[in-house]
Chains A and B, each alone.
Chain A
Amino acid sequence: MTFEDYDTESFYDEMFLPDGSARPEARRLVERIESLPDGELVRRHQAAERSLLHTGITFTVYGDEAGTERIFPFDIVPRIVSRETWDPIERGLKQRVEALNLFIDDVYHDRKIVRDGVVPADVIDSSEGYRAECIGIDPPRGVWCHITGTDLVRGSDGTIYVLEDNLRSPSGVSYVLENRAVMTATFPLFEGLGVRPVIDYPSRLLSMLEDVGPADVDRPRVAVLTPGVYNSAYFEHSFLARQMGVELVEGRDLVVADDRLQMRTTRGFERVDVLYRRIDDDFLDPTRFRADSLLGVPGLMDLYQRGRVTLVNAPGTGVADDKVVYAYVPQMIKYYLDQEPILPNVPTHLCWRDEDRRYVLDHLPELFVKPANASGGYGMLVGPAATPAELEAFRARIEATPRNYIAQPKVDLSRVPTRVERRFEGRHVDLRPYILYGRDVYVLPGGLTRVALKKGSLVVNSSQGGGSKDTWVLS
């Protein structure tokens, strides 16, 4: 297979220049792919997919009656990120996460940012992730957002924008590691390219978790809390626990006793000091949040408030996961760090502001409208592709609950060549790097490149027909 008839069309292509020649950082990869014997790429792609299915690297699709697991579709052509592209991304993400963390801490303490008129109190109090129970809490090292997955997109002019910040329980990092493992096994094109490794993520994650243990515990014991085997990200929970060598627990394994969190083992009860929880705040503790939750542990929140156990990410962090709050992050960076934002936001219209709302309602067919608090691409309006009925339905929703909606112009996401049968075609991608915050801030080189496999589609979510690619950051 060759790239001879590959067409970048009018989009920014991550691998090729508009004149059809390979970008300097992609040249050697292009040569290697083109030098493979006929049919070899297809064979290796199939081998990779078999390997993913057999190791059970799957996700569950909600709303699918059969509860079938599917493999997260995987494309064999990697995305290459040059060092020159990566360096500002890394600096920009560190800057952003530091500002967000200061913001969350401020929200639950003095609210200086409100007093100084930068972010309206309304926006904070109406954020779905805001938890009054967290007022006054001082988590170890002052860290709230220990693990962040920030979605980046590149527009047609080559600018890289932040699309959203995922600060609750960002998922997908296991695919980054498994994609790399599968690529290494089935497609050894790496040699001599200087691809930065991702394999040390689990040990960095573990160090971070150990660094934020309760102050009075010397060698904290870590566990991962999962909602269970039917959760769509269960594979990842299990994978990370296994890679870190810690227990993967469910709520029913845990009990608050002797003023500590304890897990039930075959030899009696054992203490847990740091809980990397992959369940939402609402489900953590039925005595404090949703009473019907069977996923959490009665008494956990009280224990946490008294510093007897660390929860990662900290409860209440979701206040900054809101897409209205997102719009204020550039101002937060200036306010807390006195710096210019390195990575810009996508221009965002906040429907609760009268002027913005009028604009949004007038330009609905051109805009992407998103619920402020949802993720996974659920409940989103893709204006340019919507039917008149869908547009009307959204218009009504926006008018009824303007706080719940934001709108952004269509960003023509950049593309990467993707195998379609026996040829390559451009498909739109985003990038979700993962950022760890404990003793300091660490950004995993690369992250999850999600690709919209449907021709022309700009929606990359796995639940909406997206797949993924290995991401090679060059050193």
Chain B
Amino acid sequence: MKIRIKFTKSGPLKFIGHLDVMRYFQKAFRRAEVDVEYSQGFSPHQLMSFAAPLGVGLTSDGEYLDVSMHTCDAPEIMIKKINEAMNEYIQVVGFMVLPDSSKNAMSIVAAADYLVSVKDGYETMDKAVFKWKFTDFSNKDSIIITKKSKKSEKDVDIKPMIYYTAFEQDKFREGIGTADGKDRVLHLAADCYTNGIKVFMQLATGSVNNLKPELVMEAFCQYAGEVFKESAYQVHRMEVYADLGAGTNRKLIPLDKVECLTG
């Protein structure tokens, strides 16, 4: 059966690359004695795939992996069992059985939420200045950046790929329509910084359109006349979505809610 697992990644494990996270889960599943399905042959491997690989240095509250299992217990039991075989820095927070017909996570990724924080010691402006400058920046009609590939350079307008931005979590959740009326602010696995300079953003993600938050910050720095330094920002992913809308009408649904709505 197809299983989708949602997990967090935080603390020192942000320095673990995507392939190593896969190995981490393979070993964790074996320690937890989860009944994972293996490929056939002399070097069998677990049938597993990730929704959207997270870069080294990034943390997350909303990572997804799909894995095949022969059998499993109720989600709460499975979450407990797997978490007991792992450490606090990668923890399973969701476990759902998918219909056999469902598409794998990677193929349906359309958007993601991020929190970008300025690390302490890297502030170039104070919080208030950052807010109004960033607001001006995101209100522009177009945001042109030069994308460099191996062969060519081309100008791209990233503005259409920035779906929403806000400076506070409750505002952000309201704006993107995920506020549930109960918890105004959710606890994040992200690191906190005392300077308080941060921005939440919902961006196009996936194989059709893909915008990295680092690129948004680079464009912002260009706009604000600052030198862009990648290590100045901590990027934290909060959620990953599929788009169930038609045409240009987006209907973004978190990957762990997709089947509940369509199934």
**Are the chains A and B members of one assembly?**
no
B contact set with A: CB distance below 8 Å? none
